[in-house]
Structure formats: C-alpha cells, structure tokens
Structure 1
C-alpha cells in the first residue's frame, strides 16, 4: 500500500462509523463502513490452504503475494494518493497476518460498555416497525432477552467481536492496538482524534465536529435495518435512559473487560 494502511475494528455500535465519517473529512485519508477486504482475505486463505487439493501447487511466497494483492487490487484507485483505514471487526483475529503484510499498520478498536451496545441494537430493532432485520436472520419472534443472548453468543454479532478483541489484547501484536471508547469519541472528539493521529503517526488534521456527514442507507436497507450506520450531524454525547430491563443490564455489566486493569495485562492504550 503506497501510502499505508490502518484498520478499524472492535465492537459493533461503538463509534466505528462516526470514526470513519470523521477520518474521511481529511482528504489524505480513506475510511468507510465494513469493506469486502476481510471476507476476500478469508476466502483467499481458504482457497490456498490444504483443504483445497490444488494448494499443493502454491508455496508460501505465492500465498503472501496473493493475499497482499487482495489489498492492493481492491484499493488500487485509492492508495496512490490516500492512506486507507479498512473496517472489519474480524481484523482483531488476523493481527499475525497484518503484522506480516503491513508491518506499520495500527488497529483502532472502537469499544463501548456492552449493555449500551445491546441497548443500541434493541432500539434499532424497535424503531424498524415494518421490516425484519438480517441481524436476527429475519426471525419474527423473540424478545429482548433472546436477542441479547443471540448477540452475545460465541458466533453472535457482539460475542464474536468481543472474544476477538480479548484475543487481540493478549496477542504478541497487542502493541498495534488502540482502544477508543465510544464515550471518549462522543464527549471529547477532538482529543480522541488527536490520539488516533498520534498513534498511527499521521499528520494531525483540523476536523469539523459540528458538521459530520455519512450515508449508507442502501447498505442498511439490504440488511433490513435502516439507520444502522446513521451518524448524527454533530459529534456529541447524548444522555438517555436504557430500554433494557435491569436484570438484563446487570447480566452483561461485567462483560466490558477492557475496563478492568487486571485484564489489560499488556497495557493496551485506551483513549
């Protein structure tokens, strides 16, 4: 990648879209919602591994070149002039691969108190009265309890991202991570963005936090979840009460492990 690449990962509903919307204000940067690159890398790894009988004809140098080519070819029109921020919550499971392909890359992990993530997704589901969501396989039944359980399962939208983050925080590449809490990004966006630029080594940029623009309505419509990537015009914190029942909130209150210094034994920086 001629002008470098960094990654946005972490947890859903935790500010990754807002972060991308702010980064793309900078003409030297490219950022967006989840790109196909993560899935393309996974597919390529599957095809060049020994599960494919023709993998016998592919050596490690070719595998590396093919995987590098996924990034180069997808971003061929962008990286000659801009630094890329690619978004996918799965990148925290691929730090060893990132380390080999992009030695200077950093990973910004957006995080948020787990009960608030579940609350945010539940609000979306209730606001979308006329259509079922792909987030729950278009199932018409269920309650906030069953939806929370599905989200937090090992393969669930939140559960997978959380365990991937926990793995990354204790990996040999944990020094590539910066944790960016949602509250930090919304309550003091200027300080939060300064931390992102400092961590990635990119020149600082004067962002307009009162005029944030982002649009992904067609993508959200295909998921049956309008508003999933909506960003308010101003980066600010809004106080509100949760719609989760108290027992459900308490059940997941201790899941936000990065808040516990005893868990963060590698000292991953947190904004």
Structure 2
C-alpha cells in the first residue's frame, strides 16, 4: 500500500495556520485542514503506556511506535492516496523528538504573528458576539475585562501561552532544522513567494495555487466554541492594516514576545520581516 509523507502545521493561534491549510489543500496531492484530534490521541496513548500505569510493562517502545504510527494511518486512511498529509496541531512544537523518530523526513511548518496582534484578533472575535460566553475562558472573572482575558490566554497551559511555549521549545531545540517559521504578515503580503519557499522546504514539485479563490470553513466546530467564523477563510488573500483594539500597554507588552525575529540562536528556517536573506533561504 502506498505510504503518504507526513508533515505538520503548528505555531500560534490566529497566525494563519487555517489559511495555510486552505492554500495547500488546493493541491490535489496534499491533504490539509484545521487542527485534528491526532495530537490528543497520541498524548492519550503515551499516557496509558507510560511508567506508573498497569500497561507500561506490557508495551515496549517498538510497540508504542507502531501504535502511534497506526493512529496517523488510521485517522487518515481515506487520504493515504495523497502524496503528502499535513496534520495541524499547536502541540507538535513540543513533540518534535517524537515526530522525527516516527517520520525522520517530516517537516513542521509553524505559523507565527506578532503576539499583540494574536491577542487583538482573539479579542475581536470575543467582542463580536457579546451574548456568548465562549469556551476560551472558564469563568466569568476570567473573561471579565480585556486584561483578564489576555493574561489568561498567555498562561503556559492556555491557548496562546501553550502554543508560544511549544514553538519556542522547537525553535531552540535539537531538531530545529526541521522547522520552518512563516510570519502571517508575509504570508498575506506575498503568498506566492512564501508558498514557493515552503515547497522547496518540503521538497515537493511546485503547484500553481489560486490565491484569489480559497475555500475553508468549519461552522459546526466554531459554534461549539462559541466563536462563529473562527476558522472561516476569506476567498481572497489580502493584507489589511488596522488599528488595534487593545489598550496601548497591553499591545506593547505582547509585542515583545516575537523571539523568532532573531534567528541567531537557532537552526530553524525563518520567513519573517526582520530576518536576512540568508536566514530566509530554505
């Protein structure tokens, strides 16, 4: 049976991962989409067979590898005729050793964005429906003001903080050369150039994408979060300037978190505004 190549999409929320998947899925040889449950399945399997559980002595490392590889092939069984499958999950940055052990030639594409604009984008979604208590915040106090909301999101076990921490681990880790960081602004300003670099990075023949006619939406998933339109991709890629709705002190605070703009301490490949030509080459 034909074996598809697995690559991974990760990075920050509201930073273009769904947009990137919408672009890539235009290629009939690719499968890509929004976050899948495979990452959660992997974590659950590892938890069940790790030290301290009743099954740990019954499952050796080779069996663990087979089980986890089987999760991917089982979940994507209907897509295995594709040449390349991209699985999306923000946890993959923290699982690079596992990814490289399972799929030695796999690459991770990490979508990033100035964290202040990530917070701004989430805040806009929250304010767009004032009659809904989104599941992003667990209590009324946690969602009470923009300060509580941003502070909560930035915690290391929450939506933005976890993704940021996982990406930072991958960025400075031993497998960083398998990581390609793509800045959201560049993706929206020059999609053809960025996608061309991505194809070079994953060593696939270039496909002519249509950046004016994209299709992607997940209304049922978004409604259960209380955030309608969260994963809806506009048909045409456009870069738009806007004024932030965050207070100036919050915007300044989170603007300082873009560590990927200085690639001097990493072997990761970076496509971001402040990188030089050498660092952009993949």
- Structure 2 SS opposite 1:238: coil
Quick one: distance in 2 between partners of 1:158 and 1:62?
34
- RMSD between aligned alpha carbons? 1.3
| 1:39 equivalent in alignment to 2:40 | yes
Q: Which whole-Å CA distance do the structure 2 matches of 1:252 and 1:196 have between them? A: 27
Question: Residue 50 of structure 1: SS of its match in structure 2?
Answer: coil
SS of 2:78's equivalent in the other structure is coil
Are 2:112 and 2:182, in contact at CA under 8 Å, matched by a contact in 1? yes
- Partner of 1:180: helix, strand, or coil? strand
Residues 28 and 81, structure 1, Cα contact 8 Å, conserved in 2: yes
CA offsets 1:159-205 (integer angstroms, 9 cap, x no match) = 11111111111111101000000001100000111111110111111
* 2:242 corresponds to 1:266: no
Q: Distance in 1 between matches of 2:14 and 2:233?
A: 11
1:122 corresponding residue in structure 2: 123
Instruction: Give the gaps of 5 or more residues in structure 2.
Output: 272-282
Runs of 4+ off more than 6 Å: none
Question: Residue in 2 aligned with 1:251?
Answer: 253
Three-state SS of the structure 2 residue aligned to 1:108 is strand
Residue 101 of structure 1 corresponds to: 102
Of 106-115 and 164-173, deviating more is: 164-173
Secondary structure of 1:270's aligned partner:
strand
Q: Is the 8 A contact 1:132 1:225 kept in 2?
A: no
What is the number of equivalent residue pairs in this alignment? 269
Contact 2:113 2:185 in 1 (8 A): yes
Q: Which residue of 2 aligns with 1:204?
A: 206
Give the structure-2-normalised TM-score.
0.92
Aligned to 2:136: 135
The residue that corresponds to 2:57 in the other structure is: 56
Task: Give unpaired runs (5+ residues) of structure 1.
Answer: none
Judge conservation of contact 2:217–2:229 (CA < 8 Å) in 1: no
Which of residues 167, 170, 194 in structure 2 aligns to 1:168?
170
Displacement after TM superposition at 1:138 (Å) = 6.0
Q: Distance in 2 between matches of 1:240 and 1:104?
A: 40
Alignment of 1:9-28 (within 5 A): 9-28=10-29
